[in-house]
Amino acid sequence: MLKLSEDEILELLAHPPYTAPLAHPTHLFSKVNPSCGDIVEGQLCFDGGHLVGIFLKSTGCTLSKVAAILWCKQIEGKTIDEIKQSPTEEIFTLVGDIIPMRRNCALLGVQSIQESLHRPS
């Protein structure tokens, strides 16, 4: 169960943040959940060592969309090392208790972003 209220979830889905593509991204990310087809993709921009821009495009279930948005809010302004060192399980603190079968939905955005930071930019 997501920690957000139904109204907060609906607001995030109706008016998602991070919808403008970046002019000069430093990192690209994309990942598909093979079990359900959910997709998260986007761009990151680091300047002065800190995350200053995010573009996020997500298709799939509500949990994967909302979790990706919450993760982006969590990492905004952090350094690459801080984001790399953030445990992926931290997403469960943001979204709350979910059944084990849905853990991949919540982790999709987190894993995609972290994987992009381990590739050369």
What is the model's pLDDT at position 2? 60
Name the pLDDT band for 54 (thresholds 50, 70, 90): very high
Question: What is the edge-to-edge ordering of all strands in the sheet holding 39-47?
Answer: 27-32, 39-47, 50-59
Residue 9 pLDDT > 70, yes or no?
Answer: yes
Mean pLDDT confidence for 7-30 = 95
CB-CB contact of 91 with 65 (8 Å): no
65-100 per-position pLDDT tens digit: 999 999 999 999 999 999 999 999 999 988 988 899
Mean pLDDT confidence for 53-67 = 96
CATH number at 6-117:
3.90.1010.10
What is the model's pLDDT at position 120? 67
Mean pLDDT confidence for 48-74 = 96
Residue 36 pLDDT > 70, yes or no?
Answer: yes
CB-CB contact of 107 with 62 (8 Å): no
What is the model's pLDDT at position 119? 82
